[in-house]
Amino acid sequence: MTDATGGPRHSVSVAAVIVDSAGRVLVTQRRDNARWEPPGGVLELEESVLDGVRREVWEETGLVIEPTRLTGVYKNMPRGIVALMFRAEITGGTLSTSDETSQINWWTPETVAERMDPAYAVRVLDALRQDGPAVRAHDGVALLTGVAALPR
């Protein structure tokens, strides 16, 4: 990606990992590509990071959340997208699908590892850990080896 001057440009996305009392994680199936991911999306230019994650979760799930901690920073190397992941708690709203989500489910960590693309599964699984935040790079599907990252 380049900006108007032809220089490099990045996009920033935000997402939330929401865990229920049984240890399951809230996941959404996107309408545009049918992939399962934690709720989130692109940060708008005029909004703060935390307001962006609140808005994205609201738009995709109907839930009001409060982010509680940053759990990871992930870069899609080919596309120049930097994703910020947060743990969050539900504070209100009613769970429902949207124009962006075709399904919403609660998955165990094992189901996340089995059914979600590795580049997204690692974000969820990192968020379940107490150490961190993680810093990783991926190609849109799989983690990249040989790219500097903080050890886990």
Structure-token pair, residue 143: 């983690």
Residue 144 belongs to some domain of the structure = no
pLDDT number for residue 140? 86
Alpha-carbon separation of residue 35 from 28, 29, 61, 67, 122 (angstroms): 8, 5, 15, 23, 15
In this structure, are residues 24 and 102 in contact, taking their beta carbons and an 8 Å threshold?
no
* CATH code, 20: 3.90.79.10
Longest dimension (CA), the chain: 50
In a domain, 99, yes or no: yes
Residue-level pLDDT at 43: 95
The model's pLDDT over 67-104, given as tens digits with 9 standing for 90+, comes to 999 999 999 999 999 999 999 999 999 999 999 999 99
pLDDT at 18: 98
Number of domains forming the structure of the chain: 1
Whether 151 is in a domain gets the answer no
The reported pLDDT for the residue numbered 3 is 55
> Which residues span the domain enclosing 128?
11-138
Do strands 63-76 and 81-93 pair parallel, antiparallel, or not at all (unpaired)?
A: antiparallel
pTM attached to this predicted model: 0.89
- Return all residues near 101 (Cβ < 8 A) that are at least 6 apart: 28, 29, 30, 31, 39, 60, 61
